[in-house]
Each structure stands twice: as C-alpha cells, then as structure tokens.
A = this chain, B = another copy of it.
Amino acid sequence: MLPYSTLLSIDRQSSTPVYLQITNNMILQIKKGVIGAGTKLPGSRALSEQLQVHRKTVIKTYEELLTQGWIEQIPAKGTFVSKKLPEITPEKISSATNVPPAYPVQTGFRIESNTLLHRPIIKAGNLIGFDDGFPDVRLAPVEVLSRTYRTILQRSFQKKLLLYGETQGNPYLREVLADYLHQSRGLAISSNNICITRGSVMGIHLAAKIICKQGDKVIVADANYPAANMIFQQLGVQLLRVPVDEQGICVDSIETLCEEQSIRLLYITSHHHYPTTVTLSAERRIRLLQLASQYDFAILEDDYDYDFHYTSSPILPLASADTHGMVVYVGSLTKAIAPAFRVGYIVAPQNLIEEAGYLRRIIDRQGDLILEQAMAELIAEGELKRHLKKAQKLYHERRNFFCDLLENYFPESISFKVPEGGMAVWATFYQRHNLETLSLEAQKQGLLLGNGKNYDCNLQNMTRMGFASSNLEEIEQSIHLLQKVMA
C-alpha cells in the first residue's frame, strides 16, 4: 500500500474540515501522478486506520472524490482512481508558442474618454474627520441582517429567490415598503407604485432616462448633488441652475424660467438640500406642485435623508400631496443602514414603474433578491424602525456636541447654521482661510476635510462636515486636529 499517512497529511489546527483536507491532498497526489490513474485505493476501514481518522471521514472523502469525478467505485471490486481524470486542459487557439502573450496595455480601438464623468470618487479612507455626511456603519444591524440572510438561504421553499425574478424587485419587499412609506411618509401607495433600485443613484438614473431625452431642459439647484448632474448631462439635457436660500430652492426663479421656456424636469433634494442641508418650506412645496401642473414638468424628489431629523418634525414629501402624478419620489435605505447594502426605491404612478422594470432589465437584469428579502423581513419585524431610532438619538447627540465645539473653537473662522437634520453641517470658512489649502494640509495631519470642490457650483470656501459617523471622542479628536491645521 502507498504511504497514505505521509501523502495525505492532516493539519488538525486548520479550519478546513479534515475530510476536505484529505480530499484536496488526494487530488493533488493524483494530479502529480503519485497516485496513478487506475490505482486501487484502500477500503475506508483500512485508510481510516492508517490516517487515524474516523471511518466516516474517509467515507465522506470518497463521496466527495466520487462526485468530483476523481475516483470510480466498481461494485464487488473496490474503489479506483479514474482512468479519465476530470481535469481538462483547455485547448489553445493557436499552438504557435507556449508562452502566453502579454496582455495589451491599451485598447487597440480608440475610445473617447468621457471627461464629464472624470471626477474624484470618494471612498472610505483611514482618516478620521469630516466626511460628506455618511452614517456610522459600526451601528448597522449586521448581526440580525446576516442571520436573516442565512435563514432565507436555508429555506428550501424560497429556492426560487436564487433564480431570475421580477425586474421591479422582490415582491415582498415592494409590499412591505409600500406599507412602511405610507406610515412614515404619508404616501398612499401600493406595491405597484414601487420599483426597487440599488440606492438613490440608480433611482435617479432610471427616472431620468425614462423622463428625459436629449435637448430637454432640466432645472437643478445651484449647488447640487454632483452625481445627479452627471446623470442628466450624460443624457444630453440642458441644465438650468436655480439658487437656494434659507427656505430651499427659489420657486420664484423656477416660475420665471417656466414662463420663458418649456421645462421637462425639476430635480430637488427637498428634505435636506444637498449640500446646504436647508429644508424646503411647506409653502414652497405647495407652490412647486402647482407650478408642475401648470407648466407640465415632472418633479424628481430625492429624499435621501428624510429619516434623520432632530429638532422639528419632518415635512412630508411633495409626493404625499401629489394628486396629479407630477412627482417621482426616490429614496434609499443606504443612509439608514449602510452604503454597502444598496437597496433603494422609486415611487411613482404605475405606468412609470413598469417602464423602470423594462429598463432595469438591460442594466443589470434584477436586484439582489436575497438581500431584498432580508431587508423586507427587517422592516416587517420592526428592526429598521428600532435601528433608526437608536441611530437618530446618537446622531442628535453628535450633532449637538459637534456644533458646540465648532462654535466655541472657531468663532472667527467658520460660520454655519445648526442643521435640523441629516448627517452633516454646511460650513463656510472665512476668506483668510483657503479651504483647498486647508484640505491638503489636513490630509497631511491625518484629518479628512472636504475642499468644497465637489458641489458643482461657484460657491467658495464652503464644505459639508459630516458628524454622524464619528463618536464623541472621535469628534473631539478631529476638532483638535482641525485647530492644529488652522493655526
């Protein structure tokens, strides 16, 4: 007999199950030819004794090798290494040379670089400090989420979720969400009014593509969420920019534009304008709805952080008062839970939702139905509400703490208004500080500070300073670093 105990060494500290270790080693030795094709293998009892493992372990190994096609079992004869090994060497297209050609450095055909999209992409770094207004992912209910995820995968009656499904999203999530949005946002909708997306960006992308065509005129705030502007510009529309004051986007300016030309769409971040955090007043909301009906333009309402408000009550979205079907409402769970779980939604009259489903199909076919199912169960069981309440309380505390420090330490350098909600402060740095220089200097000191260049506008020396993702200690640390940088 071959010296199997040497050939098939076992590491009992390893996290790989023993039977898999034996299997993998066996395959290795077969591939090397040490255990040749056609070799008769010892019976399970004999091998288990030699390897000092339980006989069941060897049986499991043989089963695994059998399924993978490495061995054959011939009744009354025994177990043999397959004559025809399952390892297949792919056929080369050209046998001219054995050295694979180096992979090309550049496409051979010319592609036009899409400079419109060439902007720095913010990603998670290792610096502490002031991000763009991200949630604290350390609070995310990952334990219950991953448990739910696993349970769903284990339910045999839900194997269907592993296949192709509805392009408009998991039906159960659409139902649960209709109910949740009715309760939390006063939207009297049914699941037919919801298309699940992968976050707000995809919501805006789909809606914009359905509503706009090249040459259309789209009104956006000046400043605005840059990804939205990029999406519109990609479609070849003309952007018209309207200022924002302390009540939100200027409705008078919008009316003036409407009198002069035909507007196709207005994009607004109503609850907390991005980047300035201003809430659009109730009175302006009503006027916007009237203007939309009067001048026949669609409103794309991006309510990305409705869930986070600290002092006053939130104002219900425009969509909740839209009786004429002028508003397409876009939201997301990414701020509520974590950006990684990309689940968002479009709310709109059914004819638009159907188009969204068709369009989605040629983008990525469908969402992640398992994750969507898990989210639905989290919402149905009240986990989302519970989590939001906790997060809101903590963020409220952090906002207060951060704003106090900002006011006390930088009274002569930074001006800001305490935001009513959201996850960031809109800060204006006084002229003698150049924000671009400061941002670079901060980076050197290990502090994250925006340079104010990412809001697609002409505002100078202003930036968002996120407070929600840092705990009190980290906020204090960041403030001290900022003192050093600004000294």
Give the B-binding residues of A (Cβ under 8 A): 16, 24, 67-69, 86, 88-94, 100-109, 111-114, 117-118, 121-124, 134, 137-138, 140, 142-143, 145-147, 149-150, 153-154, 159-167, 184-190, 193, 197-199, 201-202, 205, 210-211, 213, 227, 230-231, 234, 264, 282, 285-286, 292-293, 296-298, 309, 312-316, 318, 320-326, 328, 338-342, 348-352, 355, 357-359, 361-366, 368-371, 381-382, 386, 389-390, 392-393
Partner of A363, one of B86, B202, B382: B202
The distance in angstroms between the C-alpha atoms of A102 and B123, with both chains bound, is 41
| Least CB separation from A388: chain B residue | B68
The distance in angstroms between the C-alpha atoms of A366 and B339, with both chains bound, is 9
Q: Is the CB of B386 within 8 A of A114?
A: no
Q: Is the CB of B362 within 8 A of A364?
A: no
Known: A114-B359, A121-B358, A199-B364. 7 other contacts (CB 8 A): A104-B323, A112-B213, A122-B164, A137-B159, A137-B162, A142-B154, A143-B154
- Give chain B residues whose Cβ lies under 8 Å from the Cβ of A293: 108
- Give chain B residues whose Cβ lies under 8 Å from the Cβ of A298: 107-109
The 7 A-B residue pairs with the shortest CB-CB distance, nearest first, are A104-B325, A137-B162, A124-B163, A108-B325, A117-B358, A146-B150, A198-B364
- Give chain B residues whose Cβ lies under 8 Å from the Cβ of A340: 161-163, 165, 368-370
Given contacts A86-B393, A124-B163, A134-B164, whether A205 and B363 have CB atoms under 8 Å apart is yes
Q: Is the CB of B339 within 8 A of A162?
A: yes
- Give chain B residues whose Cβ lies under 8 Å from the Cβ of A393: 67-69, 86
Given contacts A324-B108, A361-B227, whether A193 and B124 have CB atoms under 8 Å apart is no
The distance in angstroms between the C-alpha atoms of A396 and B81, with both chains bound, is 19
Q: What are some 6 contacts across the A-B interface (CB < 8 A)?
A: A69-B389, A109-B211, A111-B352, A140-B162, A201-B364, A202-B365
Q: Is the CB of B150 within 8 A of A137?
A: no
Q: Is the CB of B313 within 8 A of A91?
A: yes
The distance in angstroms between the C-alpha atoms of A432 and B210, with both chains bound, is 44
- Give chain B residues whose Cβ lies under 8 Å from the Cβ of A102: 188, 323
Nearest chain B CB to A209 CB, angstrom units: 9
Q: Is the CB of B389 within 8 A of A91?
A: no
Copies in the complex: 2
Q: Is the CB of B90 within 8 A of A355?
A: no
The distance in angstroms between the C-alpha atoms of A365 and B140, with both chains bound, is 20
| Least CB separation from A289: chain B residue | B93
- Give chain B residues whose Cβ lies under 8 Å from the Cβ of A386: 68
Nearest chain B CB to A199 CB, angstrom units: 6
Given contacts A186-B100, A342-B368, whether A286 and B163 have CB atoms under 8 Å apart is no
| Least CB separation from A353: chain B residue | B107
- Give chain B residues whose Cβ lies under 8 Å from the Cβ of A381: 16
Q: Is the CB of B117 within 8 A of A359?
A: yes
| Least CB separation from A87: chain B residue | B389
- Give chain B residues whose Cβ lies under 8 Å from the Cβ of A210: 111, 114
Q: Is the CB of B153 within 8 A of A150?
A: no
Nearest chain B CB to A346 CB, angstrom units: 12
Q: Is the CB of B199 within 8 A of A121?
A: no
Given contacts A161-B340, A231-B362, whether A188 and B68 have CB atoms under 8 Å apart is no
- Give chain B residues whose Cβ lies under 8 Å from the Cβ of A165: 123-124, 340
Given contacts A193-B103, A362-B205, A393-B67, whether A111 and B325 have CB atoms under 8 Å apart is no
